[in-house]
Chain A
Amino acid sequence: MELKERLAHLAKTGDVPVFAVVGSGHRSPVRRLRLSDGINLVASPRHAAVLLVAGTLTEAATETVSRVHDQMAGPRVTVGWNHPEPSIVPLAENVVGGVPDVTAAIRQQFANVLTGTIPGEPPLLPNVDPVEWRGVGPYGHGGAGMTGGNPYGRPLPLRAPARDTLELDQLPITIGPWFAGFPPGLALRVLLQGDVVQGLEVDSTRFVSDGPGGVFERALREPTLIRDLEMDRARHHLEWMADALLICGVDRLALRADRLASTIEAGDVQRVDRLIASVRRSLLRPMTMRGVGVLPPDVDLTGLGPVARAAGVAEDARAAEDGYDDLGFTPVTHTAGDAWARFSQRAQETTQAIDLAGRAGNRLAFGSGAVEAPDGLHRAEGSRPADRFVAMLEVVLNGEEWGDLVTTIQSFDIDMESVSAPKDVP
């Protein structure tokens, strides 16, 4: 058809809407993909044409990835990125390489599927109703009575008490593991009454495999250059800040933070300071973060890194290291303990890290089985901060509005690649 070809010709040079399923070791690369020209990471598969399966996923992720795949509006195409064979879903192409390679591959496959060079992928999950409902019940719609049965395949939610004593419906719903507002791999079963959370449970299934481990993992075993550690910390925090800004709708500054994360150099404190000044001008604190996600007083914060320090616990494994002592390191702290305190904490730790890296020379630190990683204290054995965060989610988030829930979860910086196997989760 003439018109369709013309449209495809126009569209293939435009932005590629990509829905990314982020496996282990690829949180940072996928963030850098945001900076690529013509790649647009979208939050809903309905808006996407390309499904990017990055990194290693577990067998359990197959069903969820397939579902997201099927929800894409089509013409759809799946691209893998350093995804190990055998792949969990059929891939049109599996790219082994860096951001430029995958950008080119995505653009190519997008153009292919739009112009009809390759056909759009068929759905992966079987075409069966969730329950048998067609023809069931008095009107053949599967329902019974006023609210019973499975009308059109699903039951209606039930009532539950609420804190304002209006006993209305409670909607249990599982969100994730590929919901863009959560860390990749985190699936939450939430009991929603209206937009307020009445209870939640973390799905203990692991969807992403263990991470490859970076410089902080190495520092557990051997003394490592402070310069490397601190630059990695700065990059990690900047990427985290980009995510936070994206969730809070400040796309422009999120891009700046991403760009900074990929280009920052040791000692270059001014650029970070300018970014932080812009963030302040974006009114992030008063509009979105102040007073959100405050931890209850009885939560044990030891070893939780920036989250603990943002709540006034001046505890940092770096303070006990001679290498850091030489540089005059003292931990930054905040007292409010809310989402903004965590943001501000990480922002200041970023500046501090870049400053330290600039002055560190060849000094070494750690190597004795414990290291202060960006998300908290890592030990050679025992659970990681992510486990603790996952365990405390229910206490912290009960009764929050949905938007505050997303902001709070993001503010913890939960790395689902480092959570323990299901049986160890408390």
Chain B
Amino acid sequence: MIDLLLVIAAAIFGIGVYGALSQQSFVMIMMGLELMLNAAVLVVVTFWWGTTGGNPSGQLLVIVILAVMAIEAAIGFALVTAVYRSRKADITEKLKKLRN
């Protein structure tokens, strides 16, 4: 069971890596990051359930990951808004172009 869960988590994580690297728009990159965190949640709960005898720290770690997701999303959206406001850009290339 643990093997199966870890393979699934690895697959979700792989998709997240692909998304975060390949996407051009900020929000889509954030989606890749969220997918990676999703995999992390699954891994943590898997170990909590199967290997640590239900150590509550595992649960706490999940909550912390959730908080990280919320913070990442809030700051991410705020940044997207601020960048769009000042540069009218929603994809990363446009920012690079501007730097030159």
A interface residues, Cβ below 8 angstroms from B = 165-167
Closest Cβ neighbor of B81 among chain A residues: A166
B94 at the interface (CB under 8 A from A): no
Assembly CA distance A165 to B84 (angstroms): 10
Taken residue by residue from 69 to 92, chain B's Cβ proximity to chain A (1 for < 8 Å, 0 otherwise) reads as 000000000000100110010000
Q: Which residues of B contact A (CB under 8 A)?
A: 81, 84-85, 88
Q: Contacts of A165 on B, CB cut-off 8 Å?
A: 85
B81 / chain A contacts, CB cutoff of 8 Å: 166
Closest to A164 in B: B85
Q: Report the Cα distance A167→B90, complex, angstroms.
A: 12
Q: Which residues of chain A have C-beta atoms less than 8 A from B85's C-beta? A: 165-166
User: What separation, in Å, do the CA atoms of A165 and B81 have in the docked complex?
Assistant: 11
User: In the complex the two chains form, what is the Cα distance from A166 to B84 in whole Å?
Assistant: 7
A105 to chain B, nearest CB (A): 56
Decide if the interface of chain A is mainly helix, strand, loop or mixed: loop
- Identify 5 residue pairs between A and B in the complex whose beta-carbon atoms are under 8 Å apart, listed by A's number: A165-B85, A166-B81, A166-B84, A166-B85, A167-B88
The smallest beta-carbon distance between A101 and chain B, in angstroms, is: 59
- Bound form: Cα–Cα A165–B88 in Å: 10
CA separation between A166 and B86, bound complex, in Å?
Answer: 8
Q: Which residue of A lies closest to B88 (CB)?
A: A167
Q: How far is the CB of B5 from chain A (nearest CB, A)?
A: 40
Give the docked Cα–Cα distance between A265 and B81 (Å): 60
Q: Which residue of A lies closest to B86 (CB)?
A: A165
In the complex, chain B residues whose CB is within 8 Å of the CB of A167? 88
In the bound complex, CA of A316 to CA of B88 (Å): 53
- Shortest beta-carbon distance from B100 to chain A in Å: 23
A85–B85 CA distance with the chains assembled, in angstroms: 57
Chain B's closest residue to A159 (CB) is B88
State in angstroms the CA–CA spacing of A167 and B88 once bound together: 7
The 5 closest A-B pairs by CB, nearest first: A166-B85, A165-B85, A167-B88, A166-B84, A166-B81
Q: Which residue on B lies nearest to A166, using beta carbons? A: B85
Instruction: Tell me the bound Cα distance from A378 to B88 in angstroms.
Output: 51
Cβ of A166: which chain B residues have Cβ within 8 Å of it? 81, 84-85
**A167 to chain B: closest residue by CB:** B88
Q: Closest Cβ of chain B: how far from A394's Cβ, in Å?
A: 27
Name the distance in Å between B85's Cβ and chain A's nearest Cβ. Answer: 6
Rounded to whole angstroms, the CA-CA distance of A237 and B80 in the bound complex is 50
| Distance in Å: Cβ of B78 to nearest Cβ of chain A | 13
Report Cα–Cα, A300/B84, bound state, in Å: 41
A353 to chain B, nearest CB (A): 53
Closest chain A residue to B84, Cβ basis:
A166
A52–B90 Cα gap in the complex (Å)?
49
- Chain B's closest residue to A165 (CB) is B85
CA distance A167 to B85 in the complex (A): 7
Q: How far is the CA of A167 from the CA of B83 in the complex (A)?
A: 12
The answer for the CA separation of A166 and B88 in the assembled complex, in Å, is: 8
The minimal Cβ–Cβ distance linking A164 to chain B, given in whole angstroms, is 8
CA distance A165 to B85 in the complex (A): 6
B84 — which chain A residues lie within 8 A by C-beta? 166
Q: Whose C-beta in chain B lies nearest to the C-beta of A168? A: B84
User: Once the chains are docked, how many angstroms separate the CA of A70 from the CA of B84?
Assistant: 41
A8 CB, min distance to chain B CBs, angstroms: 50
B63 to chain A, nearest CB (A): 34
- Distance (whole angstroms) from the CB of B25 to the closest CB of chain A: 12
Chain A nearest CB, measured from B65 CB (Å): 31
A80 to chain B, nearest CB (A): 52
- Bound form: Cα–Cα A134–B8 in Å: 42
Chain A nearest CB from B26 CB (Å) reads 15
Question: Shortest Cβ distance from B93 into chain A, in angstroms?
Answer: 13
A156 to chain B, nearest CB (A): 15
A166–B85 CA distance with the chains assembled, in angstroms: 5
